[in-house]
Amino acid sequence: MRTKSLSTDELRIWHAFKMSREIVVGIVARDIAEATRLSGADFGVLSLLEELGGGELRQQVLATSMHWDKTRLSHQLTRMQSRGLVLRRLMSGRVVIVQIAKKGREVLAAALPVHAAAIRRNLLEKLTKRDIDSILETFTRLTVSMGR
Amino acid sequence: MRTKSLSTDELRIWHAFKMSREIVVGIVARDIAEATRLSGADFGVLSLLEELGGGELRQQVLATSMHWDKTRLSHQLTRMQSRGLVLRRLMSGRVVIVQIAKKGREVLAAALPVHAAAIRRNLLEKLTKRDIDSILETFTRLTVSMGR
DNA sequence: AAAGATTGAAGGTTCAATCTTA
DNA sequence: TAAGATTGAACCTTCAATCTTT
């Protein structure tokens, strides 16, 4: 049996969904990079370390929280470590603890207001209360249904 | 004046917005790659060539339509050309016309039903009519307001 | 063998410099 | 000089193979 093509309406939804995030997230990342030299990935790692772990987390927990695989995180941390943003300690055998470094904490502090302002300007201020409720409900349901 | 931090609610919206697209678009791209060896970028180029140009487009028009810069598209087309998916012809001086190749058309035809099925299964079927209307309205407004 | 992590190579993306034509 | 495109280097992501500890 043949699969029916997507209708014009279905394609419009798909494109709206696909592009809007790409554009907004791209702009936020660019704002942060201009102000602090942190990439979106760098910022994500540092803020999760602080938010979730008060400064340190098991590497595997960090990977899961970011929805990243272990290889990607390992390479990312190697680069961040060489720039003095994080430290890694071997804990009880094969478990690695990732810890935010002094410099990492300082750069994160500089990035946070830029992050907040960029999200407000490029997303939150352009949404009505109804939009926000709808996005929260729909997208939370979506991500949960994909098992993440 | 200090920038106020994002509230818990604001962060929840941001994460829902950021992650849902990442997950859904990732799954759709993986389905297409498994079935056809096309990356999401490959599929995007081929389908725009067909949809917008009936098989060929000026390279610059293609770049604009994908919201890509010229460098990224140039590298992408070089790889696709070496795999026999597209052709490039020099038109009147500095204008390049990108044309879908026979093999590109065949692979695209194989990918389209996979694409449609993946979008239906991972996005459309999980949304109510109200979700869909809301997404279309909100996201179209968002992308337009960013000047794209 | 399974869990946690690293490595290296290949492929994709970005940045700055360059080339050619209008 | 500006428009359209390419190139090469650096950086990021993915894939498969590997290493160490349990």
Residue A70 Rama label (left phi>0; alpha psi -120 to 50; beta): alpha
**Residue B87 has what pLDDT?**
97
Residue B118 and residue A9 in contact, taking contact as beta carbons nearer than 8 Å: no
**Residue A146 has what pLDDT?**
76
Report residue A22's pLDDT band, with 50, 70 and 90 as the boundaries. Answer: confident
Q: Tell me the per-residue pLDDT of A73-98, one tens digit each, with 9 for 90 and over.
A: 999 999 999 999 999 999 988 999 99
Residue A11 and residue B28 in contact, taking contact as beta carbons nearer than 8 Å: no
Residues 69-98 of B with CB under 8 A from A: none
Read off the pLDDT of each residue in A40-59 and give the average, rounded to a whole number: 96
> Dihedral (C-alpha) B32, A10, B142, A147: value to the nearest 10 degrees?
-50
Q: Tell me the per-residue pLDDT of B127-142, one tens digit each, with 9 for 90 and over.
A: 999 999 999 999 888 8
Asked if B17 reaches chain A (Cβ–Cβ under 8 Å), the answer is: yes
The distance of B28 to chain A (nearest Cα, Å) reads: 11
Residue A130 and residue A52 in contact, taking contact as beta carbons nearer than 8 Å: no
Rounded Cα distance, B95 and B89, in Å: 9
Length of chain A counted residue by residue: 148
| B108 sits within 7 Å of strand D by its CB | no
Rounded Cα distance, B78 and B84, in Å: 10
Higher local confidence (pLDDT), A43 or A92: A43
Residue B147 and residue A27 in contact, taking contact as beta carbons nearer than 8 Å: no
**Residue A8 has what pLDDT?**
92
Q: Does the pLDDT value for residue A58 go beyond 70?
A: yes
Rounded Cα distance, A76 and A100, in Å: 14
Residue A133 Rama label (left phi>0; alpha psi -120 to 50; beta): alpha
Asked if A20 reaches chain B (Cβ–Cβ under 8 Å), the answer is: yes
Strand D nucleotides in reach of protein CB atoms, 7 A cut-off: 3-9, 11-17, 20-22
| B5 sits within 7 Å of strand C by its CB | no
Residues 110-129 of B with CB under 8 A from A: 112-117, 119-120, 122-124, 126-127
Q: Is the dihedral of CA B103, B108, B111, B113 positive or negative?
A: negative
Report residue B147's pLDDT band, with 50, 70 and 90 as the boundaries. Answer: low
Residue A17 and residue B24 in contact, taking contact as beta carbons nearer than 8 Å: yes
**Residue A147 has what pLDDT?**
65
Report residue A145's pLDDT band, with 50, 70 and 90 as the boundaries. Answer: confident
Q: Does the pLDDT value for residue A102 go beyond 60?
A: yes
Query: Which residue in B17, B140, B133, B125 sits closest to A139, CA to CA?
Result: B17
pTM for the predicted model, two decimal places: 0.90
Q: Tell me the per-residue pLDDT of B58-102, one tens digit each, with 9 for 90 and over.
A: 999 999 999 999 999 999 999 999 999 999 999 988 999 999 999
Identify nearest nucleotide to residue B78 by CA to C1′ distance.
D6
Chain B CB contacts of A119 under 8 Å are 6, 10, 14
Chain A CB contacts of B134 under 8 Å are 130-131, 134-135, 138
Rounded Cα distance, A23 and A122, in Å: 9
Q: Does the pLDDT value for residue A148 go beyond 60?
A: no
